[in-house]
Amino acid sequence: MGAEELAKAALRTLNAEPTASMSRIAASAGVSRATLHRNFASREDLIRQLGRMSLDSWRQALDTADVDAAGGSGDPERIRVAMNVLCRELVRDADEYGFTLTLTEHVQDAAIAAESVRLHEREMAFYAAAQESGLLRRDMPAAWIAYTVFGLLVGLRDALRHGAVAVRDAERLLRDTILHGVSA
């Protein structure tokens, strides 16, 4: 098992059991602790790798939704389509990389922190364009919208983990909450 496959196996374990030890992660992956440590010298090394993988997934979500071009177009319909795709991709991301959503250890790595800022800025620019197009409310900062979406993803992760929300409903719930809130 290569480092990437081992990291994915570790992520599956940590998504279900966030405090799992390296021994538990190794056992769940079907490898020895020595094999795990040959690939990741410490839990911190593993966490950094998971952080990089999570950022790659976030970047993929933004790219798949084509948020830069959609936002740059100013076209409300194109922005709406991109928002729908982004919601689908963010649900996938929260489901696959839920463990990493609330980690703080990996942001101590300067490259990871810088990339996180770049991705956050891309997403915020998209929300600002959605505001300008009339898709999202204009009376709140785009940064607030971005952090609200992040909070929704953390909530979604936990709701999926606890079986409170079905995966098949997650995209609709996220999209409808972003676009319409929870008011009656």
14-33: per-residue pLDDT in tens? 999 999 999 999 999 999 99
What string of DSSP letters covers 3-14? HHHHHHHHHHHH
**What does the DSSP 8-state code read for residue 31?**
S
Let me know if domain 48-180 sits in CATH 1.20.120.
no
Q: Report, as an integer, the average pLDDT of 84-96.
A: 95
Question: Per-residue pLDDT tens for 52-75?
Answer: 999 999 999 999 999 999 999 999
Return the domain boundaries, the chain.
Answer: 1-41, 48-180
Distance CA 61, CA 122 (A): 11
Average pLDDT of 128-138? Answer: 96
- Least confident segment among 16-20, 133-137, 180-184: 180-184
Mean pLDDT of the chain: 94
Which pLDDT score is estimated for 1? Answer: 75
Q: How far apart are CA 150 and CA 101, in angstroms?
A: 8
Helix ranges, 40-161 (H): 43-65, 67-73, 76-96, 110-132, 142-161
3-state secondary structure of 35: helix
Nearest to 6 by CA among 32, 52, 21, 60: 32
The residue with greater pLDDT, 93 or 182, is 93
Please count the other Cβ atoms lying within 10 Å of the Cβ belonging to residue 93: 21
Is 36 in contact with 47 (CB distance < 8 Å)? no
pLDDT interval class at 103 (50, 70, 90): confident
The answer to whether residue 80 scores a pLDDT higher than 90 is: yes
pLDDT at 38: 94
